[in-house]
Structure 1
Amino acid sequence: MSLILSRLKCPWCETPVTKAELKEKNLLQVYLKRQAFPCPHCNQSITLPERAEKMISSGLFVSVFLAPVFAYGGWLSINPALLFSLGVALVLTGVYFQKLQKVTASHE
């Protein structure tokens, strides 16, 4: 699953990289597999790390699924509002850290 909640900029040329550009240059599958691919603008190697997307997915799971389940069931006396807030915090942290990274020769 590839979440793009904001425009991701190439760390080399600071130009936004869109899915349409990646699809046009047949790089979308490489991007979705989290492998190194050349920027459509400057041809420098970049990659999308999975760390931020895991945080976003975890935050969505906690706030959309777990918080309502705990509110309905009342299990473990956990406040559902705090659980929802934790999920929102995870999503916002993931969005903040969702950035393309430079790939150097040692990373390839």
Structure 2
Amino acid sequence: MKHFNCLVAVLVGVLLVSGTALAHKVNLFAYVEGGTVFTESYFPDGRAVEKGTVLVYDSKNRQLVEGKTDTQGMFSFDIPKIDALTIVIDAGMGHKNKFKLKKADVEAGK
């Protein structure tokens, strides 16, 4: 019985920690098509990131674009330059993630 209680305590601890980790997770996906970069941002439960801040950086970490997601978690922008791009979503309260587009992918989508 003592081992069972320890196992239950460990399991509860793992579930609490994993729940906390998921609480700050946000998903970001980006692709390039027809000279435009499209982004989609959403939480693990599928809810869209509304009014999340999107920042776009070049390979030298210079900010090129800033904008906000719409009610469906979408944000798009014209290709600012042919370079590797790092796209960051900040959904507030510690919910952040980034997506990297390779230079070749940006160039192929122009």
Determine if the TM-score, normalized by the shorter chain, exceeds 0.5: no
The interval holding the TM-score normalised by the smaller chain is under 0.3
Instruction: Please say which structure displays the higher CA radius of gyration.
Output: 2
**TM-score, normalised relative to structure 1:** 0.27
The structure in which a higher percent of residues are helix is: 1
The structure in which a higher percent of residues are strand is: 2
Q: Tell which has more relative contact order, 1 or 2 (C-alpha 8 A, sep 6+).
A: 1
